[in-house]
Structure 1
Amino acid sequence: MGKPVVTDEDGTRWITLDRPEILNALSVGDLAVITEAVTGIGPDISAIVLTGTGDRAFSAGMHVNTFADATPDSGRAIISSVRDCVGAIRLAPVPTVAMINGYCLGAAFEMALACDLRVAHPEVRFGLPEVKLGIPSVVDAALLHHYVGLSKAKEIILTAGLYSVTDLATYGLANRIVPPAQLREAVLDLLAPITACTSEVIAAQKELFETWLNHGLQHGIDTSVDVFADLFNTPATLTAIAQYQMTRSRR
């Protein structure tokens, strides 16, 4: 138990946060391992799943000792590492899933928000406790209001409270809520139709989501037209269309 464990299985890269004795709390070194595991995928990897060891926590976020003696310079370095890690997850060209098996706090909550999809069990608790330490929630906490609305996002961040996955169910934060024993099965079921698509179209669609988040409506629409047209240069797209036509003709 220690640094995140990275394993590849049937085209899926599993990244498991592995300090269950401290609720899988993270160090700066762990962030580098995760970043490398996400950015270092090859063409044989079609999906990434993040989870935590044990049944108590996905992760409690950055270990509080990380900030104990921080200065403005070291604080910037720490949060820059968080930004780079969480950003790598958000910008990965393959689908990313957070398999959330317990407490999901701080930077780990931001990782879950940065993932494309989230699968959790009913006892999961989310929270952004940073303000209790006198530091703000930053980086991909900026995504929270897209999921739960600005009012609820402000409540979650400013109160630093814990919220159950069922508390947030009406906002659709989790794509699936299943019993703990069914988490892995639910993740694989959710990924199956996505990974059946071409890697090119999934990467392009994810880039468009990022464009839609960061730019105005018309820019997003115009960019979509260019991305759509460019994919017809991709042999995989032409093959997928032909296969789809063949399937339809058999019905």
Structure 2
Amino acid sequence: MEGTHVRLEWPEPEVALVRLNRPERMNAFNTAMAEEIAARFEDLHRRAGLRVVVLTGAGDRAFCTGADLKERATLDEQAWFAQHHVFQRMFRAVAETPVPVIAAVRGYCLAGGFEIALNCDFILAAADARFGLPEVTRGIMPGGGATQILPRVVGEAWASRLIMTGEIIDVDTARRIGLVTEVTEPARLLPRALELAGVIAANAPIAVRQVKQAIRATRSLGWEEGRRRELELYAACVPTDDRREGMRSFVERRPPVFRGR
């Protein structure tokens, strides 16, 4: 499926590949592109049989460099807030995807583009990736979740440094602080992301969705509430055909065939 600013492909029936498609602007999102990203992900929320999403950027220069500042520079305060409402819908649509979303990052991943990646479940990066949140150098601050998500990923000190200085870090630093889970050569990035997507897609889909909910609950719940929520989600896996298939396949020494029910 082709869109003006977003391309949707299906490398496997259960794996969606979403490409941010504005390479001439380093995949910076304007209002129209943010609306399209939101709509595309909201459609994926309802997609039966979907198990994993891989999100990447078109071209070799950038994953996404955030909001298109040329457009933003023309906005008065009322229009600015109206646009940011659209951006919030986009960030939430990515974050609330019920299946895992893998960010495959090549080149620059900055500002709101970095926040899109942070709203995914984990990040794979090419050796040429660069990360930064330069909002404070433009008189604003991150508004897509970075102040809440980044401290949980890399710790409060590194999050404070990156957000307060606006500095851009290379992929080696990103790996060292735990921001990215793996670094590959640029040509290997997308195949590796799809390979990992295949590994996840082969697992029991109900269980994987429950795991995602349990992990995300750590962002809003305390220890005891989180443990209770984990048990609720765990209990929902027990009566499924997938759980019974997982046990049978182990006993029968064969790969499981999960049906998502």
Tell me the TM-score normalized by structure 2. 0.89
Which residue of structure 2 aligns with residue 74 of structure 1? 79
Q: 1:102 to 1:240 in 2, by over 3 A?
A: same
Q: Is residue 244 of structure 2 the alignment partner of residue 238 of structure 1? A: yes
**Contact 1:176–1:186 (8 Å) recurs in 2:** no
Report the more deviating stretch, 190-199 or 206-215.
190-199
What is the alpha-carbon distance in structure 2 between the residues aligned to residue 185 and residue 5 of structure 1? 17
Which one of 14, 18, 21 corresponds to residue 15 of structure 1?
A: 18
Count of residues in correspondence between the two structures: 248
Which residue of structure 1 aligns with residue 257 of structure 2? none
Unaligned runs of 5+ in 2: 255-261
**Contact 2:15–2:197 (8 Å) recurs in 1:** no
Which residue of structure 2 aligns with residue 201 of structure 1? 207
Q: Is residue 216 of structure 2 the alignment partner of residue 210 of structure 1? A: yes
**Contact 1:15–1:34 (8 Å) recurs in 2:** no
Following TM superposition, where does structure 1 have runs of at least 4 consecutive aligned residues deviating by more than 4 angstroms? none
Report the more deviating stretch, 149-158 or 71-80.
71-80
Which deviations, in whole Å up to 9, do the C-alpha atoms of 1:170-199 show, x marking residues without a partner? 122111101001112211222222111122
Tell me the TM-score normalized by structure 1. 0.92
What is the alpha-carbon distance in structure 2 between the residues aligned to residue 180 and residue 247 of structure 1? 37
Unaligned runs of 5+ in 1: none
Letter in structure 2 aligned against 1:233: P
**Contact 2:66–2:113 (8 Å) recurs in 1:** yes
Which one of 123, 129, 137 corresponds to residue 132 of structure 1?
A: 137
Which residue of structure 2 aligns with residue 3 of structure 1? 5
Pairing 1:182-197 to 2, within 5 Å after superposition? 182-197=188-203
Pairing 1:127-206 to 2, within 5 Å after superposition? 127-141=132-146, 142-206=148-212
Percent of pairs with identical residues: 27
In terms of fraction of residues, the more helix-rich structure is 1
Which deviations, in whole Å up to 9, do the C-alpha atoms of 1:109-144 show, x marking residues without a partner? 001111112111122111111112211112221211
**Contact 2:106–2:186 (8 Å) recurs in 1:** yes
Letter in structure 2 aligned against 1:230: A
What is the alpha-carbon distance in structure 2 between the residues aligned to residue 127 and residue 151 of structure 1? 15
Alignment RMSD (CA, Å): 1.7
Which residue of structure 1 aligns with residue 231 of structure 2? 225
Quote how far apart the aligned CAs of 1:222 are.
Answer: 0.9
Q: Is residue 113 of structure 2 the alignment partner of residue 111 of structure 1? A: no
Quote how far apart the aligned CAs of 1:2 are.
Answer: 4.4
SS at match of 1:111: helix
What is the alpha-carbon distance in structure 1 between the residues aligned to residue 249 and residue 94 of structure 2? 31
Q: Is residue 94 of structure 2 the alignment partner of residue 89 of structure 1? A: yes
Letter in structure 2 aligned against 1:31: A
Which one of 11, 29, 32 corresponds to residue 29 of structure 1?
A: 32
**Contact 2:99–2:208 (8 Å) recurs in 1:** yes
